[in-house]
Structure 1
């Protein structure tokens, strides 16, 4: 599908698999009019390599290289490295495929030469033929830490090694107060030509909150000239992917789209919920649109992206608040 030239600039906030699906649809409609601000709270060093899971999932998904069967990593993957590492007694709890290794090795090499994560990510996106601008939320290190029934766990230990099993008591973003948003991130959010800010259906607590924790990002969104449209990750009280519903229960938050709207209360202008949740349509504080929000196919991704963009246009013509306030 050809990119639209009349929609204007759009910024989307996203994490990994679920967010990347909507990002795919948005990129197909918008091309280089789209800027993606991607969570890096999941980033960590593993086997001496700098790994950026959400950035890589977005890059692989938008370039058509994603492993759809696994939901992460590259297609047509082999695992010889991990098998050999296992024979040496190395850590194998976090799987790195043979093809996937290339991006981690090259990222690590370039970061050690002094390049920023933003510059490295932009270069990778260009080599993958991605039209959209893909930006990490910050070039500074921010680490998501999960306070659980087993103690404080780094995100990947909780998410991958423990498979989200421990009860979550709270979530913290280490070093976020000392971090800075890049000039590219702030420029994208402050663009006077911006027509929409889309919050993808990523985990609000583990994928979007880290982005909002970066000093200056939340304020830039609130000052933006564009309406903020959130796509709920909850359908019928359950998360499509990942532990969102489990975490909501453990934090004492109802597993509803209304709770998602309340989570983004000071930012949100419009919420997209699934037709299944039609009964939640009357949500105080923001406009609501129902749509088929399950994205099983590429056509589903493009269709939902189109719904989000159309909803943003509707909000501008009948605003629920004064944008840029």
Structure 2
């Protein structure tokens, strides 16, 4: 008799996704959690490969993340940036001294011909992370923000321009030729996951890039495992990041319902459960009218206990 499937797959972007992943990692044995991470935010800066969402997740899971910011390293120092500023260098994207070690090591690994998946696995192992962390693809995908100021690479929009330009849409350079992570895809196709959790990350620039890698969203839709989405919008606000501003500028209702409609319209039949905060409970009937079951739970993750509580709500959801 075959052993029951116990593995969970999480899809994550940056800070919000990393928070729930930490909750899931706290509730699951290491081998029972796989995490597929957005790489559309990646870019080269100062000659170094910067992988923001990957690093935020790794620092969070390893206990290194700055607890106030949610990104970067706790107790970071900034000697390099201060010296660079005196030379007139670009300092709009701040790289801490210890964070630089990650980027420099990764740069060397890439020059040696190592693939992104191998590099991420090595970093996770070195940091003592038991969950398996995978980039969405080993091939480069770069998010472009279409705005009233023209097209901007994501980090130029997000960090350099502080999300000020009004967005009109998004595209992902390289997405049509990007190959999905084969380990995750194979596990999906073989029925190796008990559930899939789409973390409360920005649906447009954190989750869409993952789902739009060829073959990914349809494999998720066709898998036996239920797909559970946690809304990143609570009471009309994004807990972290520019999702609410983006939705408003795209003329999308800035509500959990607006997020659910985006997933249902762009990826019909994908979502089985939609987790909303207790403050949005009145939206449940409209979301269920889309053919999606609703779970109401406290979704604001202020500390580890809140992260673990939300994780338990997600882990309790089973195939219908």
Q: Give the TM bin, normalised by the shorter chain.
A: over 0.9
- Give, in whole Å, the separation in 2 of the partners of 1:6 and 1:127: 30
Contact 2:221 2:271 in 1 (8 A): no
Q: Is the 1:35–1:188 contact (alpha carbons within 8 Å) kept by the matching residues of 2?
A: no
Report the 3-state secondary structure (helix = DSSP H, G, I; strand = E; otherwise coil) of the residue aligned with 1:173: strand
Task: Show CA shifts across 1:30-73 (max 9, x none).
Answer: 12211000000000000000110000000000000001122211
Give per-residue Cα distances to partners, 1:77-116, cap 9 Å, x unaligned: 0000000000111000000000000110011110111100
What SS does the corresponding residue of 1:99 show, helix, strand or coil?
helix
Aligned to 2:209, the other structure's residue is in SS state helix
2:187 aligns to what?
188
| Structure 1 counterpart SS, 2:97 | coil
CA distance in 2, matches of 1:291, 1:190: 30
2:278 is aligned with 1:280: no
Shift of 1:162: 0.4
Range that drifts further, 216-225 or 110-119: 216-225
Give the 5 Å matches for 1:38-53: 38-53=37-52
Q: Shift of the alpha carbon at 1:198?
A: 0.3
- The worse-fitting range, judged by mean Cα deviation, of 176-185 and 53-62 is 176-185
Question: How far 1:182 sits from its partner (Å)?
Answer: 2.2
Does 1:237 find its partner at 2:240? no
1: CA distance, partners of 2:112 / 2:157: 31
2:298 aligned with 1:292, yes or no?
Answer: yes
Q: Which residue of 2 aligns with 1:222?
A: 221
CA contact (8 A) 1:11 1:188 kept: no
Shift of 1:6: 7.9
The aligned runs of 1:1-325 (5 Å cut-off) are: 8-30=6-28, 31-265=30-264, 266=268, 267-282=270-285, 283=287, 284=289, 285-310=291-316, 312-313=317-318, 316=319, 319=320
In the superposition, the TM-score normalised over structure 2's length comes to 0.95
Task: Determine if contact 2:185/2:216 at 8 Å carries over to the other structure.
Answer: yes
Q: Tell me the CA shift for residue 190 of structure 1.
A: 2.4
Q: 1:213: Cα distance to partner?
A: 1.3
How far residue 188 of structure 1 moved from its aligned partner, in angstroms, is: 3.3
Q: CA shift at 1:189, angstroms?
A: 2.4
Q: 1:261: Cα distance to partner?
A: 1.3
State TM-score, norm by structure 1. Answer: 0.93
Cα-Cα RMSD: 1.2
CA distance in 1, matches of 2:161, 2:211: 26
Tell me the distance in 1 between the aligned counterparts of 2:113 and 2:187.
24
Return the alpha-carbon distance in structure 2 between the equivalents of residues 161 and 208 of structure 1: 22
CA contact (8 A) 1:21 1:295 kept: yes
Structure 1 position 118, deviation (Å)? 0.3
- Separation (CA, whole Å) in 2 of partners of 1:132 and 1:187: 17
Once the 2 structures are TM-superposed, how far is the Cα of residue 7 of structure 1 from its aligned partner? 7.4
State the alpha-carbon separation in 2 of the partners of residues 36 and 190 from structure 1: 16
Between 1:5-14 and 1:50-59, the stretch displaced more is 5-14
